[in-house]
Structure 1
């Protein structure tokens, strides 16, 4: 399955082509005087992000939610396990999910809504991972936790109601970065890696490079900015040269030919658009089954912009994108 889909012509003219809900979200940021994250301390940024993306509304119902602490590479990290609604006795495929937030922000609560939706729409057990954050735990700590959590899920699949032979990884933004890297590590059979059947990459970070056209077009004014990405990378990497490591920049990997099928989601008004598109193209060129969907009128992180508290609007296109992601998961697990 190889396809390239674009919903609008990508332009740099915000008012003309931007989705109305995304425009309203950006206008609310401005009217509420929300500060630029890169001007804040890490503690202030985390508090702001958690407050904005942890809605008070009743969450989407799932059959069960379980909190656990698991061991990865000698470290204990929390995971939250979601069993899909309408589940009967028996095993479900598993999705190991890594939230976004630039390796610095985000937690199980800020991305609870997306995890619940993917469980129900993908009819799979979702293991959402609270990997260690930078700058307290810089690169490659998050990679180690992501890989370790994937191994743990494969090993403990049956006890959490999952099928050990149907395993996917996925994530958004920095979480998409981690998912892509875990898929590459599993392909290399590092440290007894599990077999991964599918990768779900939503507007992933794939390269430590600010020189793309989408950075030029969308580097300011669209929520995720060039200065903020620099702030994220600077907190994440131990030193700048780490950005050339394939465990930080999966686009730099030489051989992608043995990777599992992928669903790659990008947004037109996102500085990360071009590196996500480049990764999808490289997978396609390597013969990997790939579906790439570009929501040309949307901004970064839009999957997580539903069910937000007032005064922020619901971004309706998030539901469509989650439906398509869920469909991709179900189709992958049926093959």
Structure 2
């Protein structure tokens, strides 16, 4: 397992949160208003939508087209890098937002960076949101989307990626489709991998860091209110007894994120199963930091370049 960036072991205290993020979060808190876990769903969605303005437009060397996936009816957005010839792979991407919020704009800058930096075509897929469509609706959509897109690649390698809840959907889809769809790599950005809120990183993180235990419980309860359903691999991909046969993996975590330790633990599980893993740790960052490029204008492009290089390396294992 390759570890890049400033690596922090599972359970270890990270360095302080980046001062620019701390100032941004403090400004938001000083403006007042209830925390996410006290909001009605429509207000939470509006809050996340307003946060899209903190993202940059990403590289402008990418052609963007809104499409509908045949056979699924799901809305999607295709990102094609310009001036490089044929893309080296097609990446199916699922945005974050806790399965409750988020849209195709949520991870627009990440998709642009991946397309331009890794030379891949990215297809970002919108999926049904909870609580209107609870578990396993989003997971079912993710599986259907990967199958539909895989049928159109014409032999170009296929990777599956996502951030946060979208990282969960990516990992679930890849695990469910082992032996059915050839996936060359999975790319997981601060993903949800199970529902265990007792890990040390949950105790370290709080709402003051952007997202804490109470926010995560709010998302979990809206998406999958039945606790017994959270233990299976359709929800918790790291709970599988056999992780063999999964593709090379890029896994990115952030120090000030309740999900940090499950990401580190999953990387170790994959390594023990013989899966090539590259774990990228950003100890001074928080959950979803790619969305805060307005204050991390130098950091996010560097992090995106590092991520893109890791994606290219992961794809090379099965090229």
**TM interval, short-chain normalised:** over 0.9
Note the C-alpha offset of 1:302: 0.7
Aligned to 1:270: 257
8 Å Cα contact 1:108/1:129 also seen in 2:
yes
Give a deviation string over 1:56-80, Cα, whole Å, max 9, x none: 96553134211111245xx521000
Where do 5+ consecutive residues of structure 2 fail to align?
none
Give a deviation string over 1:145-165, Cα, whole Å, max 9, x none: 11111111111224xxxxx34
SS at match of 2:162: strand
Aligned to 2:63: 64
Q: Matched residue pairs, number?
A: 315
SS at match of 2:214: helix
Aligned to 1:111: 107
Note the C-alpha offset of 1:318: 2.2
Aligned to 1:235: 222
Residue of 142, 146, 154 corresponding to 1:146: 142
Note the C-alpha offset of 1:35: 3.5
8 Å Cα contact 2:7/2:280 also seen in 1:
no
Establish whether residue 131 from structure 1 lines up as the match of residue 127 from structure 2. yes
Change (3 A) 1:127 1:211: same
Change (3 A) 1:175 1:85: same
8 Å Cα contact 2:248/2:315 also seen in 1:
no
Instruction: Tell me, in whole angstroms, the C-alpha distance in 1 between the residues paired with 2:306 and 2:5.
Output: 14
Establish whether residue 166 from structure 1 lines up as the match of residue 185 from structure 2. no
Residue of 76, 79, 85 corresponding to 1:82: 79
SS at match of 2:208: coil
Aligned to 1:250: 237
Give a deviation string over 1:274-306, Cα, whole Å, max 9, x none: 111111110011110001111111111012211
Instruction: Tell me, in whole angstroms, the C-alpha distance in 2 between the residues paired with 1:9 and 1:69.
Output: 41
TM-score when normalising by structure 2: 0.92
8 Å Cα contact 1:6/1:295 also seen in 2:
yes
Change (3 A) 1:8 1:257: closer
Instruction: Tell me, in whole angstroms, the C-alpha distance in 2 between the residues paired with 1:59 and 1:320.
Output: 12
8 Å Cα contact 1:17/1:297 also seen in 2:
yes
Where do 5+ consecutive residues of structure 1 fail to align?
159-163
Note the C-alpha offset of 1:219: 3.4
Instruction: Tell me, in whole angstroms, the C-alpha distance in 1 between the residues paired with 2:303 and 2:158.
Output: 21
8 Å Cα contact 2:96/2:106 also seen in 1:
no
TM-score when normalising by structure 1: 0.88
Instruction: Tell me, in whole angstroms, the C-alpha distance in 2 between the residues paired with 1:91 and 1:84.
Output: 7
Aligned to 1:260: 247
Establish whether residue 215 from structure 1 lines up as the match of residue 202 from structure 2. yes
Instruction: Tell me, in whole angstroms, the C-alpha distance in 1 between the residues paired with 2:84 and 2:4.
Output: 32
Note the C-alpha offset of 1:179: 1.0
Establish whether residue 41 from structure 1 lines up as the match of residue 40 from structure 2. yes
Give a deviation string over 1:45-103, Cα, whole Å, max 9, x none: 1011101114596553134211111245xx52100000013233x35411100111110
Aligned to 2:310: 328
Instruction: Tell me, in whole angstroms, the C-alpha distance in 2 between the residues paired with 1:3 and 1:70.
Output: 35
SS at match of 2:246: coil
